[in-house]
Amino acid sequence: MDLSYQIYRLKFKSPSGTSRGVLTTKETYLLRLKIKGLYETDFLGECGLFKGLSFEDHLDYEDKLKSVWKNFDFDNENWWEELRNYPSIQFGIEQVIKAKQIYKEKKLEDELNPILFPSTFTEGNAGIPINGLIWMGSLEFMKKQIKEKLDQGFRCIKMKIGVDWKEELQLLKKLRKEFSSNDLELRVDANGAFEFEKAKTILQELYELNVHSIEQPIKAGQHQEMAALCAETPTPIALDEELIGEVQISQKQKLLETIRPQYIILKPSLVGGWKGSEEWIQLAENQNAGWWITSALESNIGLNAIAQWTYTLNNPLPQGLGTGSLFTNNFHSRLNVVKDQLFFV
């Protein structure tokens, strides 16, 4: 068996704005496991490092990746624990191991889109409800995106906010005037854009518009302030960036017990893949917090792995999947969005 990796730079079709800036490219790392046998087969996995956001985004990341592919022992059952400080590498290896287990000596029909979790989803007979994502930009640009999503049939929209709250609030008011909460679910994602006092006012304004939830209203790391917001908020709060870097079970439990959020949002590439996400889910459910899964600008290789696994969780909430169409140089995919659902075709 030969394990190797390569850097791949994804290019956005159009600049995508967040409160952290405008994205035009996104680097990712692809693992390739080559097995020679009855068939020479490649198993691909994606280590979706998100520079500027991922916990393990530091200078020795590539050194660690090189060490892993040179020395990885497939018989070592403790490999996942040993890589807790490298969540995206955990996820990439999970993918190649899963593919290896399923296909063994069988030739892959589609090496880029292997069926990792056979289900009615991978049979093409069921979809995953997803939200439509509205990127930051000018008011007209955001209006254009919203119209496109509504025309496609989306009934849950997530809007990035935090650039100009007055304009963003007016846009939300207009949406709510046209569509009741029964017809259109609104979510917002602040990416930590607001100060604590400002966030309290915004939470009330969102409540008056029947907004489903707000992701990360204040910057991560302010546990006591976030706990205070969650304790009194009229609008449910979802933790996102707050989860990044909390890799040990004890850390995860302490965070949730301290803040007591209404929801958590899980990006497998940032929290340790399937296993790391499942640890968070169990802890959240223990204290009656909701959750959903979101992709983190992976290529279609990582998105395929996230989507198939997500379907097996039987979560009825709209998930944050379906980012593959953002890039000009993405890989072939069997994932397809029909109205407001993601299908495997």
- Is 91 in contact with 301 (CB distance < 8 Å)? no
**pLDDT at residue 40 in the model:** 59
Q: Do domains 2-103 and 128-344 have the same CATH topology?
A: no
Q: Which CATH number fits domain 128-344: 3.40.50.2020, 3.40.309.10, 3.20.20.120, 3.90.25.10?
A: 3.20.20.120
Sheet holding 335-338, edge to edge: 128-129, 341-344, 335-338
**pLDDT at residue 329 in the model:** 96
- Known active-site residue 107: no
* Pairwise CA distance, residues 107 & 112, whole Å: 13
- Give me the phi and psi of 6, to 5 degrees please: -145, 155
Strands 341-344 and 128-129: antiparallel
CA-based diameter of the chain, in Å? 64
**pLDDT at residue 38 in the model:** 47
**pLDDT at residue 52 in the model:** 84
* Pairwise CA distance, residues 115 & 119, whole Å: 9
pLDDT tens series, the chain, 345 aa: 688 999 999 999 988 766 567 888 999 999 998 876 545 567 789 999 998 888 898 879 999 999 998 999 989 999 999 999 999 999 999 999 998 888 765 555 677 788 999 999 999 999 999 999 998 888 888 889 999 999 999 999 999 999 899 999 999 999 999 999 999 999 999 999 999 999 999 999 999 999 999 999 999 999 999 999 999 999 999 999 999 999 999 999 999 999 999 999 999 999 999 999 999 999 999 999 999 999 999 999 999 999 999 999 999 999 999 778 889 999 999 999 999 999 999
Sequence spans of domains, the chain: 2-103, 128-344
**pLDDT at residue 49 in the model:** 93
> Which one from 98, 149, 160, 252 is the annotated catalytic residue?
160
Q: Using DSSP, state whether 166 is helix, strand or coil.
A: helix
Domain 2-103 fold: Enolase-like; domain 1 (3.30.390)
- Known active-site residue 252: no
> Which one from 106, 267, 275, 339 is the annotated catalytic residue?
267
* Pairwise CA distance, residues 147 & 144, whole Å: 5
Q: Where does 132-236 show beta strands of DSSP type E?
A: 132-134, 156-160, 185-189, 213-215
Give the type of residue at 70. K
CB atoms within 10 A of CB 153: 12
For the chain, helix (H) and strand (E) counts, in that order, are 11, 13
**pLDDT at residue 139 in the model:** 83
